[in-house]
Amino acid sequence: MSIKHEITHYSQKQNQHCNKYQNSQSCATTTDPSWSSLIRKHISQGSHTEAFVLYNQIRSKGIYFLGLLPAVLKACTSSISMLNCGKSLHSEAIKHGVDSNVQIGTSLVSMYAKCGDIFDSRKLFEYMPERNVVTWNAMISGYVKVGDMKSASVLFDKMSTSNAVSWIQMIDGFARSGDMVTARRIFNKVPFELKNVVTWTVIIDGYASKGEMEAARLLFEEMPERNFFAWSSMISGYCKIGNVKEARAVFDQVPGSNLVIWNSLICGYTKNGFCEEALDAFGKMQNEGYEPDEVTVVGVLSACAQLGLLYVGKDVHKMIYTKGMKLNEFVVNALVDMYAKCGDLTDARLIFERMTNKNNACWNSMISGFAIHGQSKEALEFFRRMEESNEKPDEITFLSVLSACVHGGFVDDGLEIFSKMEKYGLSASIKHYGCLVDLLGRAGRIQDAYCLIKRMPMKPNDTVWGAFLGACRIHLDTDVVEQVMNDVCSPGSDIDSGNDPYYSLLLNIYASSGSWERAGRISMGIVNRGLPKTSGRSSIMLESTEQQFHV
């Protein structure tokens, strides 16, 4: 559960307070309470399609119940695919003449906005003969959702009456768009009687999400009262900037922990590579009697993946089924990633193939898993399958598949795949170029690799030069090395700046190829620059006994 859930919950409470149900005798018809209860049960459980189907079954019997319409319209906001269902309900409301009802109209405005149809939402908003504060909030929420804070601000300024939800939405909208200056300015203007714990938490969460922990801490210390979400935001914020020590210090100050707090700590540990600490926290959390949820297991499975602890990951997998946890996309992706990174590609693929909706993350997990464990052909096969699906490859996808090409020696495939990045609107990073340099170098195409380095839109780093010079050493290409010496070993260059491994590689390349004069020149360069000479080791056989000595 996150701060956004609390905002939603608070908004719903305000809406209930502001809306007094307006009954219309001309269109309301008594219906079996069991139907109504069943529909509301489906909605509460997230079974929105089932709720809509059941509602249509009632309508097919000629029964029209006004009280159910807002609830069913809310179900239609669960996904864009439900927009057509919402439109059919809108037509039904017009047919029965209840579209002007403020509650029905507000539900329709909210439905269109949450489904991304902001144009029709605003059109309906303007059409409504009567609007209350909930209606205005629904329209503002729609603009906030699509990131149009300019339109949201215009509406907010026109409101004759606003409530706490109005202010919270505006603060949260600007915070999510990254404009903390405006978010803070609005926060400072909130009337005293409307500035509640949620208002404080939203602004603190905004600072924490951006990693501005000094500002977040100052406000946190000023809070009249604190809720678990505020504590959680502080823990997550410190983890975001890598300050795990301070995150733990905040955790230790919480007056009575709960699952939200534990999840923040476990996921924070995992994201920063403190995986053993994450598993330790997971054990302590259970010992204190807290039942893990979907957020918990995603963090724990990630820790298992990073540590390669397949047996622990399998135990977590069993626990998911034992406790009947919901297998949402995050949990399934975490399972695929854990099995793939731990080398159990059979189980990873089994879970993957059973997935109805395969998103970008699970494709990347499979491709990366195959690449890491040397199954390059399978990685390329999955990349092609991904291209044929509706999921668009991203930078991580290309890095994984290029790595697979390096390990498999698939030069032509690698060059073709690299060229596709532009097609998908992606810019190659230094890591992508590094993979390509490594691929060409290992294949003996040293000159091509060097030309690629010269054409790179960014300055080559240690990894790129290391891969290139390593290839030169393997293939003993001293001609290209001489070009490197002329280009990058000049005063002020990276290699001249005191990077001993570069000089060691160059020395070994010349020595291995018998170019003793050039090797001597490099050796003198090491001495003249005062660089520590990396010791070598040789061995000779003396009377069937191998003796080693350092040089």
Average pLDDT over residues 56-78: 70
> Is 21 a residue whose pLDDT tops 50?
no
> Is 66 a residue whose pLDDT tops 80?
no
**pLDDT value for 509:** 52
> Is 134 a residue whose pLDDT tops 90?
yes
> Is 262 a residue whose pLDDT tops 90?
yes
**pLDDT value for 535:** 45
**pLDDT value for 550:** 34
Q: What is the C-alpha separation between 182 and 174, in angstroms, rounded?
A: 7
More confident residue, 408 or 526: 408
pLDDT digits (tens, 9 = 90+) for 446-471: 889 888 988 999 988 777 877 777 77
Average pLDDT over residues 139-152: 94
> Is 203 a residue whose pLDDT tops 50?
yes
Average pLDDT over residues 425-454: 90
Q: How many CB atoms lie within 10 A of CB 126?
A: 10
Spell out the long-range contacts of 286-291 with Cβ–Cβ below 8 A and sequence spacing 24 or more: 288/257, 290/257, 290/258, 290/259, 290/262, 291/259, 291/323
More confident residue, 528 or 270: 270
Q: Looking at residue 138, what DSSP letter applies?
A: H
Beta-bridge partner residues of 481: none
In percent, the amount of the chain with pLDDT more than 70 equals 77
Average pLDDT over residues 404-431: 94
Q: What is the C-alpha separation between 12 and 24, in angstroms, rounded?
A: 23
**pLDDT value for 539:** 42
> Is 29 a residue whose pLDDT tops 50?
no
> Is 23 a residue whose pLDDT tops 50?
no
pLDDT digits (tens, 9 = 90+) for 469-496: 777 777 655 566 666 655 555 444 444 4
**pLDDT value for 424:** 93
Q: What is the C-alpha separation between 495 and 465, in angstroms, rounded?
A: 9
**pLDDT value for 482:** 62
Q: Which of 402, 452, 451, 404 is nearest to 431 (CA)?
A: 402
pLDDT digits (tens, 9 = 90+) for 30-51: 445 566 777 777 777 777 777 7
Contact 395, 429 (CB under 8 A): yes
Average pLDDT over residues 507-533: 49
Task: State both tokens at 86.
Answer: 């919402």
pLDDT digits (tens, 9 = 90+) for 109-121: 988 888 888 999 9
DSSP string, 516-541: HHHHHHHHHHHHHTTPPPPP-EEEEE
**pLDDT value for 88:** 78
> Is 9 a residue whose pLDDT tops 70?
no
Q: What integer best gives the mean pLDDT of the chain?
A: 81
**pLDDT value for 44:** 74
Average pLDDT over residues 172-181: 95
> Is 312 a residue whose pLDDT tops 50?
yes
Give the pTM. 0.75
Task: State both tokens at 347.
Answer: 């189980």
pLDDT digits (tens, 9 = 90+) for 71-103: 777 777 766 667 777 787 787 778 777 777 888
**pLDDT value for 410:** 95
Spell out the long-range contacts of 93-102 with Cβ–Cβ below 8 A and sequence spacing 24 or more: 93/69, 96/26, 96/27, 96/64, 97/26, 97/27, 98/24, 98/27, 98/66, 98/69, 100/128, 100/129, 100/130, 101/22, 101/24, 101/66, 102/19, 102/22, 102/128, 102/130, 102/131, 102/132, 102/135
